[in-house]
Amino acid sequence: MKPLIRAEGITFGYTDKVVLRDIDFDIAEGEIVTLLGPNGCGKSTLIKIILGLLRPGKGTVFFNGTNIAHVTAKSLAREIAYVPQIHKSSFPYSVIDVVLMGRIPHKTFFFRYSNEDMDIAHDALERLSIPHLAERPYTDISGGERQLTLIARALAQGARTFIMDEPASGLDYGNQLRLLEQIINLSREGYTFIKSTHSPEHALWVADRAIMIKGGVIVADGACDDVISNERLFHLYNARVNVMKLNGSLRVCVPESICGCMAFGATG
């Protein structure tokens, strides 16, 4: 099958420092891919390159076979949506105004939002079960609600590929779980996800595939259950963690220093 996204020999660096070196991967439609790696490993840079926000020094990103460097920001935005880390906006836009911004790639310069745009935006809020937030100021809602608003905006954008930069960071535990649930739901509808995370468990729970990056190179790429292992996590984060299989197929990570024993029968 033709890959949806193909990265070919992506290299990126500044004069004194190489951030990414020879990154290659293919991502198929409908996959959930998690980027794992320590801080400063180049995950965020890679995300920006896939989004076309940064030009790689060498290498090419293809979307559906087309080099994204040859595509306008507007037409790329109809295919790929960016769900940034939650942030506090400087201006208290209402939630519906933020979601409506997702319609911009479907508009010409001097645009007005049509009733159809309004319907699409409200529909997106409905799908994420937050229609009651529509008129609330985006600055006054919780971090979890803000993350859902940004996902609703990505839905309104009409893109089928979502790129998320640490979507769970800054969310409380309950909201992290609800966020993962939404990602699973949307992926069942055929949406493709590329997300970075600091939590290997989140990868084990929702992702099909993990790409591990350290020092700007891919150190492992494969199905989460195969790739996320004690040794690899130690290599990646310099922390001893046991990846354990619960009854069934679900896996969890338990830090060795804290559990202090191997008696649980780790499978890693």
Residue numbers at the binding site for another protein (CB under 8 A)? 48, 51-53, 72-78, 80-82, 84, 87-94, 97-98, 101-102, 104-105, 107, 109-113, 137, 139, 157
Rounded CA gap, 160 and 143, in Å?
Answer: 24
Question: What is d(CA 174, CA 132) in angstroms, rounded to the nearest whole number?
Answer: 19
| Closest approach of another protein to the CB of residue 112, in Å | 8
Token couple for 144: 């979890």
Q: Is-contact 233 200, C-beta < 8 A? A: yes
- Shortest Å, Cβ 153 to another protein: 8
The CA distance from 100 to 121, in Å, is: 6
Task: Give least dist CB 133 to another protein, A.
Answer: 15
| Pick 39 or 247: Cβ nearer another protein | 39
171 vs 178: CA distance, rounded Å: 10
- The nearer residue to another protein, 193 or 205, going by C-beta atoms, is 193
Closest to another protein by CB, 196 or 242? 196
User: Please, what is the minimum distance in Å from the beta carbon of residue 115 to another protein?
Assistant: 12
Of the pair 71, 266, the CB lying nearest another protein is at: 71
**CB-nearer residue toward another protein: 97 or 221:** 97
The CA distance from 159 to 9, in Å, is 25
CB of 73 to another protein, least distance (A): 5
Locate all alpha helices (DSSP H) within 163-268, ordered by sequence. 173-188, 200-206, 224-227, 230-237, 256-259
CB atoms within 10 A of CB 213: 23
Three-point CA angle 134, 138, 140, nearest 5°: 110
Strand order in the sheet with 17-27: 17-27, 5-14, 58-63, 66-67
Quote the least distance from Cβ 63 to another protein, whole Å: 14
Minimal distance, residue 90 CB to another protein, in Å = 5
Residue with Cβ nearer another protein (29 or 97): 97
Q: Quick one: CA torsion of 48, 49, 55, 59, rounded to 10 degrees?
A: 160
Let me know: does 244 contact 254? Beta carbons within 8 Å. Answer: yes
In the numeric block, which tokens belong to residue 230?
């004690």
- Decide whether 13 or 84 has the Cβ nearer to another protein: 84
